[in-house]
Structure formats: C-alpha cells, structure tokens
C-alpha cells in the first residue's frame, strides 16, 4: 500500500511539471517575440535614419561651412547614438529584471501548486486543482506577455527618439539655403 501511495504522488507531480514547463515555454515565447519586435523596430528606425542622413549628406554636402561644422555634426550624431545605446541597455536591464521576478514567482507558484496537488484526497479534487492551476497559468502568461510586449514597444519608441531628433536637425541643416 505504501508503494501505491508513492506512485500516485509521483504521478501527481508529473502533470504539475508539465504545466510548469508549458507555462515556462509560453513565457519564453512571448519574451522572444517581444524582444524580436523591439529589435525589428530599432533596426527599422536606424535604417530609415541612415537613409535620410545619407540622402541629406549627398544633397547638401556644401551646407557645411568648414571643418568645425563637420566635427560638430559628427559629434552630435555620436552623442545621439550613445544615447540610443544607453536607452537600450537600460531597457533590456528593466526587461531582464521583470523576467527574473516572473521566474521567481513562477517557481514559488510551482512549489505551491505541487503542494496543493499532493494534498488532494481524491482524483476529482486533483482534477479540479489542476484545472484551476492551468487556467491561472494561462491567464498569467497572457498578462505577462502583454506586459513584456508593451515594455519592448516602449523601449523601441524611446530609443528611436534621439535618432529622430538628429534626423530632423540634419534635414533642417541641409534644407537651409546656402548663405552668400
């Protein structure tokens, strides 16, 4: 009889492990999709900015009055790119912190779920507990995926701002008529 109880408890843990694994996979998928979307947005912003800067440079090469103007222009570009890099680093740090918090919470919830399932006295009770756990895990995965997606979009938008400012300044510089 002792063997049967051990086997039942071991069998009860396997669905919990499967649910935890499925939840983990869902979170990883969402995080990867959010990161990919943010990276694509960043790459697109950089590509558009680069094209505009190159077009402006070709059209208005004479707009620079001297060596100092060229140096100042390039310094401003480098400053903007360093700002973008700092924003990306900070943004990914924030996302990674949230991922660590989520992982810790998921681990704690998994332990609590296993304890809850192992405390069940009937198969019906186990099924009811597992159903609730699965629903809660799904709801949390959807909620967290939205959160990570929003963080990724906000990061891409924030990182694109310094580039947009430089593009606008460049266009304004090259659009000015040359002084006589």
Residue 180's pLDDT is what?
Answer: 41
- Examine residue 2 and state whether it is found in any structural domain, yes or no: no
For residue 162, pLDDT over 70 is answered with yes
Provide mean pLDDT across the span 135-146. Answer: 89
Q: How many alpha carbons fall within 13 Å on the CB side of residue 57?
A: 13
Query: What is the mean predicted confidence (pLDDT) over 112-124?
Result: 90
120 in any annotated domain: yes
Is the residue at 166 inside a domain? yes
- Counted domains in the chain: 1
DSSP E strands: which ranges in 46-112? none
Regarding pTM above 0.75, the answer is no
Structural domain contains residue 180:
no
Confirm if 30 and 141 have CB atoms less than 8 A apart: yes
Give yes or no for a contact between 69 and 173, defined as CB atoms under 8 angstroms apart: no
Q: 41 in a domain, yes or no? A: yes
Find out whether 160 and 41 touch, Cβ atoms under 8 Å: yes
Range of the domain at 106: 9-175
8 A C-beta contact, residue 13 and residue 114: yes
- 4 domain-assigned: no
Give the pLDDT band of residue 113 (cuts 50, 70, 90). confident
Is 93 within a domain? yes
What whole-number distance in Å separates Cα of residue 125 and Cα of residue 22? 22
* Residue 31: Cβ-neighbour burial (10 angstroms; 0-12, 13-18, 19+): buried
């Amino acid at each position: 009889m002792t063997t049967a109880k051990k086997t039942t408890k071991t069998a009860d843990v396997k669905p919990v492990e499967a649910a935890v694994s499925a939840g983990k996979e869902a979170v990883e998928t969402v995080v990867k999709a959010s990161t990919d979307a943010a990276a694509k947005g960043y790459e697109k912003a950089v590509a558009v900015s680069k094209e505009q800067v190159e077009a402006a440079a070709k059209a208005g090469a004479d707009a620079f009055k001297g060596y100092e103007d060229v140096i100042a222009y390039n310094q401003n570009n480098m400053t903007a790119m360093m700002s973008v890099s700092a924003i990306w680093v900070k943004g990914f740090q924030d996302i990674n912190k949230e991922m660590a918090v989520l992982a810790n919470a998921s681990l704690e919830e998994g332990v609590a779920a296993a304890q809850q399932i192992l405390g069940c006295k009937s198969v019906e009770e186990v099924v009811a507990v597992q159903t609730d756990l699965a629903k809660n895990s799904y709801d949390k995965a959807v909620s967290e995926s939205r959160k990570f997606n929003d963080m990724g979009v906000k990061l891409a938008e924030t990182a694109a701002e310094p580039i947009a400012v430089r593009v606008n300044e460049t266009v304004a510089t090259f659009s000015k008529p040359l002084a006589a």
